[in-house]
Amino acid sequence: MKIKLLIIDDESLIRKSLSAGLRDAGYEVASADSRAEGLRLMEVFRPHIVLTDMRLGKDNGVDLIPELKAIDNDTEIIVMTAYSDLKSAITAIKLGAFDYINKPFDLDHIKIVIHRAFECIKMTTRLLALKKHSELYMENMIGSSPVMMEVYKKIEKVSSVDNVTVLIRGETGTGKELVAEAIHKNSKRKNDPLLRVNCSAIPKNLVESELFGFEKNAFTGANSKKKGLFEIADGGIVFLDEFGELPLETQSKLLRFLEEKRFRRIGGLEDIEVDIRIVVATNKNLEEAVKKGEFREDLYYRINTFPINIPPLRKRGDDILLLADFYLKKFSQNAQKDIACLNVKVKEQLLKYPWPGNVRELRNVIERLVILSDKDVIDASYLPPEIRFYKDKVDTGAASVSDAYTEKEIGNLNEALDRVEKHLLTKALDKYSWNQTKTAEILGITRFTLKRKMEKHGL
């Protein structure tokens, strides 16, 4: 990315010579000879760094700092002066200036200060990215089954090819975000931000402003300019989770960005170019969504260049036990318990159970076992009823309870109803590709109620 500099100085010779020297050094430079022209260019040129003189005719360059920061608080400001005035320097720093240099100055010294200012901008951006997405799941990927080995090979290949958009597909809880993280860690962008955006968690009318940002007064309530996540992630990777839930109007703008690598903020007139890689993930049947007109066909083909399909946990064989052992050690250490292992019966049931909530459900189950157990070997009595009493084939409906459980095993009515409820929820979610809106509609409950029940059952 080319660094943009704005020079504000009323001395023509200094302004022109400094502009020429910095352009020769590879910077994109604009210049202004007055406070008014400087503020105008600040709006239209959008510099990363401003170099402003302390004296601008009748105006004071220090007084200009708050006005420049009001337009874009992320811009760093370097104040230039012919007067070696420590008091003015302190005032400038307090008002938000990055640094203070005296005239006559050396071009090499200015380039060093500019470099430090831009590094500060990049660091601020990274810190903002970490703050916004500190909840990102950071566990390593675990598994040695043949289907997972194929996933690892694909991650290795696509990580080194930076200009390809990646589509990660898999059921809820399979670890799609971990694949995105693995791509980030193995790519040339590993030292830049990885931003995770849950498209289904953002209200549809706010998705575009979150991704692309907006200009001041672009709409009611837009009292200041806001950078979108695409700008914040410049140089890094944006991971769009629940990608199939993007509104159609946002899909159109995203398609343009993928084609041209540029976009406009809401209410903006200037194109903004950023260097980011897009990785998307979904559990939705995109092909079916295209047929129904819920997803753009051209965008589907654009993002389907390199698909990675994450297998459900039930198809990963002994990976279930590897993961169980990993989480057992992790949670035992956290709880300061000396739990050695799971007994044979527990392992048998873990391998038999279909894991509708996949790795996320397994993680929750093992954490619960560690909390409940007071022994060094966990036995089957601590397993949740739906896993402890699970048999290979269970029919839906009321008959499933009598077929799957003996009278002794059923326990009280509430436990039996909970098992049936979880089973029916899982069946309905599987049928509609874990689309919560559609599932809630079919079951005759609200989406909020569905989410509450899914959380209750670890789905």
Q: Are 53 and 61 in contact (CB under 8 A)?
A: yes
pTM for the complete prediction? Answer: 0.61
The confidence score (pLDDT) of residue 401 equals 40
pLDDT on residue 434: 81
Of 27, 114, 128, the residue nearest 74 (C-alpha):
128
| pLDDT value, residue 129 | 56
**Cβ 396 vs Cβ 386: under 8 Å:** no
Residues 78/83/86/92 CA torsion (nearest 10 deg):
-30
Q: Residue 363: count other Cβ atoms within 10 Å of its Cβ.
A: 21
**Do residue 327 and residue 277 come from a single domain?**
no
Last residue of a domain, one of 129, 163, 180: 129
Asked if residue 134 belongs to a domain, the reply is no
Same structural domain, 176 and 159 = yes
- What CATH number did the domain enclosing 123 receive? 3.40.50.2300
Task: Give the alpha-carbon dihedral of 344, 345, 348, 354, to 10 degrees.
Answer: -140
Q: What angle do CA 82, 86, 90 make, to 5 degrees?
A: 115
According to DSSP, the residues that pair with 166 across neighbouring strands are: 279, 306
**What is the residue whose two structure tokens read 């953002």?**
202
Q: Decide if pLDDT at 310 tops 90.
A: yes
Same domain, 273 and 211: yes
CATH number of the domain enclosing 370: 1.10.8.60
Nearest of 165, 132, 170, 130 to residue 150 by alpha carbon:
170
Identify the top-confidence range among 203-207, 248-252, 438-442, 454-458.
248-252
Output the average pLDDT for the chain: 84
**Tell me, what's the pLDDT at 128?**
63
Q: Does 317 fall in a domain?
A: yes
Q: Give me the pLDDT at residue 399, please.
A: 39
Residue 40 confidence (pLDDT): 92
Residue 432 clears pLDDT 70, i.e. is over it: yes
For 158-177, what is the mean pLDDT? 92
pLDDT digits (tens, 9 = 90+) for 181-208: 999 988 999 888 899 999 988 888 888 8
Give the C-alpha separation, 254 to 247, whole Å.
Answer: 11
For residues 253 and 263, the answer to whether their CB atoms sit within 8 Å is yes
Position 450 scores a pLDDT of 83
Tens digit of each residue's pLDDT (9 = 90 or more) over 342-371: 888 999 999 999 999 999 999 999 999 999
Where does residue 308 fall: left (phi above 0), alpha (psi -120 to 50 degrees), or beta otherwise? beta
Locate 385 and state its tokens.
């009823």
For residue 154, give the CATH number of its domain. 3.40.50.300
Q: Residue 317 sits in which domain range?
A: 313-354+362-390
Summarised one tens digit per residue, pLDDT across range 384-429 is 999 998 886 533 333 344 444 444 444 556 666 777 788 888 888 8
Domain CATH number, residue 448: 1.10.10
Same domain, residue pair 206 and 334:
no
Which pair of structure tokens corresponds to residue 176?
């799609």
Q: How far apart are CA 245 and CA 428, in angstroms?
A: 19
292 and 321 inside one domain: no
pLDDT above 70: percentage of residues in the chain: 90
Taking residues 91-102, report their average pLDDT. Answer: 84
Residues 317 and 374 in one domain: yes
Which of 44-53, 57-66, 173-182 is predicted with the least confidence, judged by mean pLDDT? 57-66
Q: How many other CB atoms sit within 10 Å of the CB of residue 7?
A: 25
User: Based on the domain organization, do 229 and 274 belong to the same domain?
Assistant: yes
Instruction: Report yes or no on 60 lying in a domain.
Output: yes
Q: Which residues of 365-388 are buried (b: 16+ CB within 10 A; e: fewer)?
A: bbbebbeebeeeebebebbbbbbb
**Domain assignment present for 86:** yes
The pair of three-digit structure tokens given for residue 383, joined into one six-digit string: 């397993």
Same domain, 295 and 380: no
Angstrom distance (rounded) from CA 52 to CA 60: 10
- Residue 138 counted as domain residue: no
Residues 154 and 295 in one domain: yes
Between 38 and 402, residue with greater pLDDT: 38
Q: Which pLDDT score, from 0 to 100, does residue 135 have?
A: 36
Return the amino acid letter for 258: L
Tokens 């430079």 sit on residue: 29
Cα distances (angstroms) measured from residue 105 to each of 84, 98, 108, 113, 243? 12, 17, 9, 11, 52
Average pLDDT over residues 130-145: 55
Specify the number of domains making up the chain. 4
